[in-house]
């Protein structure tokens, strides 16, 4: 056979695959053209987190962190509840205070809570600050600082920029940090601490405890249930194994309808 003809003949057997490939490529192209790639898909259960935004971003890091401000009117003599969050999703900093948490001077009509992201100073960086330092203040209608009432604590929540970092919430005195007892919040990268004064807070090297006792109890109960389930299966398998292996010594009784037939015959 002519070598040229032989090449065409061998190619001939690959024609179905080539046709399928061409069909696939064409369908791929059509899907890309007709598909709604430019439209946002319906919510599918995944929340996309904003990147951590740095007040002094290094190359490749996102900048322009959000601030937080909440103005609350004072009714009566107790301070209102305050929850102020920065604008990222999830928020990078939060301050939450229950009703009556602040010591109000007479004539206070409103409280303004603010969260301001700051780049760590060189002393704070040397002290190990991770991410931004957040200045948390509460002022009255005249701009005067309002302190927390004696014996009352507020909650500070800071988002961890790097989930692998072993950090805790720390209070800055300008140069050094006091590490506070820290727990994880309702999301693994949100760390919570109870504070008895406002000021500058940041994440610093330290450790945080895991979920609260409720979740630990639940996890323990699930593990116990799994262990019991596995035990039951194991026991049932062991007790079923000899019965299956043993030969049948007693012949099966004839079915009643068959016995009736035999009697008639």
Cβ–Cβ under 8 Å, residues 136 and 118: no
76 lies in the site for other proteins, by CB under 8 A? no
192 lies in the site for other proteins, by CB under 8 A? yes
By C-beta, is 195 or 202 nearer to other proteins? 195
Strand residues in 49-153 grouped as ranges (E): 68-73, 82-85, 93-97, 110-118, 130-140
Among 52, 53, 91, 115, binds other proteins (CB under 8 A): 91
Q: What are phi and psi of 204, to 5 degrees?
A: -135, 160
Residue 154 bridge partners (DSSP) = 195
By C-beta, is 99 or 259 nearer to other proteins? 99
149 lies in the site for other proteins, by CB under 8 A? no
CA–centroid distance for 11 within its chain:
55
Cβ–Cβ under 8 Å, residues 129 and 203: yes
Residues whose CB is less than 8 angstroms from the CB of residue 120 and which lie 6 or more positions away in sequence, other chains included: 56, 129, 132, 133, 202
82 lies in the site for other proteins, by CB under 8 A? yes
Burial 54-64 (b: 16+ CB within 10 A, else e): bbeeeeeeeee
Task: State the minimum distance, in angstroms, from the CB of residue 113 to other proteins.
Answer: 12
Q: Which stretch binds other proteins (CB under 8 A): 8-16, 174-182, 199-207, 230-238?
A: 8-16
Q: Reply yes or no: is the peptide bond before residue 260 cis, omega within 30 of 0.
A: no
186 lies in the site for other proteins, by CB under 8 A? yes
Site for other proteins in 125-144 (CB under 8 A): none
By C-beta, is 24 or 174 nearer to other proteins? 24
By C-beta, is 83 or 176 nearer to other proteins? 83
Among 90, 128, 199, 205, binds other proteins (CB under 8 A): 90
CB atoms within 10 A of CB 189: 16
> Rule CB under 8 A: which residues touch other proteins?
13-14, 16-18, 20-21, 23-32, 34-37, 39-50, 66, 80-83, 85, 87-91, 94, 96-100, 154-155, 157, 183, 185-187, 190, 192, 211-215, 217-218
């Amino acid at each position: 056979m002519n070598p040229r003809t032989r090449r065409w003949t061998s190619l001939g057997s690959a024609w179905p695959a080539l046709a399928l490939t061409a069909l696939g490529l064409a369908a791929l192209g059509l899907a890309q053209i007709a598909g709604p790639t430019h439209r946002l898909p319906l919510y599918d259960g995944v929340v996309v987190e904003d990147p951590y935004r740095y007040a002094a971003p290094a190359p490749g890091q996102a900048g322009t962190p959000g601030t937080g401000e909440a103005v609350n009117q004072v009714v009566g003599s107790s301070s209102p509840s305050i929850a102020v969050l920065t604008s990222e999703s999830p928020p990078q900093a939060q301050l939450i205070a229950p009703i009556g948490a602040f010591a109000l001077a007479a004539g206070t009509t409103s409280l303004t809570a603010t969260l301001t992201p700051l780049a760590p100073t060189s002393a704070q960086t040397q002290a190990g600050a991770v991410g931004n330092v957040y200045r948390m203040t509460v002022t009255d209608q005249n701009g005067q600082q309002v302190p927390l009432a004696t014996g009352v604590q507020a909650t500070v929540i800071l988002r961890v920029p790097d989930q692998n970092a072993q950090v805790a919430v720390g209070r800055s005195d300008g140069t050094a940090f006091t590490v506070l007892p820290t727990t994880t919040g309702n999301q693994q990268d949100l760390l919570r601490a109870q504070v008895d004064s406002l000021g500058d807070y940041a994440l610093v090297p330290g450790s945080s405890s895991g979920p609260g006792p409720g979740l630990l109890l639940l996890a323990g109960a699930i593990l116990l249930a799994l262990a019991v389930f596995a035990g039951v299966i194991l026991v049932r398998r062991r007790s079923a194994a000899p019965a299956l292996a043993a030969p049948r010594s007693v012949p099966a009784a004839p079915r009643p309808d068959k016995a009736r037939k035999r009697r008639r015959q």
